[in-house]
Amino acid sequence: MSALTGKSLILLRGLPGSGKSSFAKLISENDTYPVFSVDDFFTSAESGTYRFDYMDNHKAYALCEKNTRESMHAGKKKIIVDNTFTMAWETEPYFRLAAEHGYSVYVLTVENYHGNKNVHGITEEQMKLMADKYRVKLM
């Protein structure tokens, strides 16, 4: 995928509470560019309340991919997806979509240097398990 296409898919990855959503909002340039997350599925549009249900996780992933695909069909210049992406299989659908629609892919890891806590009710033990699975591809 060439950066010459001018179309970019930015995948923000990191553990819960690292600041992915905040950074996504920042680089969306005042909502000029769409931001999608698995969290969107679990967040009430009316109240903004977040309610995670592991049994619906597959639906949340499907919705995030669908929204990304639709934005690519619409020719959005920049699309941002913020998810944990702790395992390689979670990024694969996005790399496929990018290849199909001529998008360059940028993967950025957001680290929690600001001491935020996750707002998703994930225990310290669960966070450690997620961190143990986390791999960074440097080459």
What are 59-82's pLDDT values in tens digits?
A: 999 999 999 999 999 999 999 999
pLDDT attached to residue 137: 78
User: Looking at residues 101-126, what average pLDDT do you find?
Assistant: 84
Residue ranges covered by each domain of the chain: 3-133
User: Looking at residues 89-109, what average pLDDT do you find?
Assistant: 96
Query: Which CATH topology does 3-133 take?
Result: Rossmann fold (3.40.50)
User: Looking at residues 42-59, what average pLDDT do you find?
Assistant: 88
Task: Of 22-31, 81-90, 110-119, give the lowest mean pLDDT range.
Answer: 110-119
Q: Output 137 or 33, whichever has higher pLDDT.
A: 33
The answer, as to whether pTM is greater than 0.85, is: yes
pLDDT attached to residue 4: 55
pLDDT attached to residue 2: 46
Mean pLDDT of the chain: 89
Measured distance CA(92)–CA(23) in Å, rounded: 22
pLDDT attached to residue 95: 97
Sheet bearing 35-36, strands edge to edge: 35-36, 78-82, 8-13, 104-109
Long-range contacts of 130-137 (CB under 8 A, 24+ apart): 130/15, 130/16, 130/84, 130/86, 131/15, 131/86, 133/86, 133/87, 134/15, 134/86, 135/87, 135/88, 136/109, 137/107
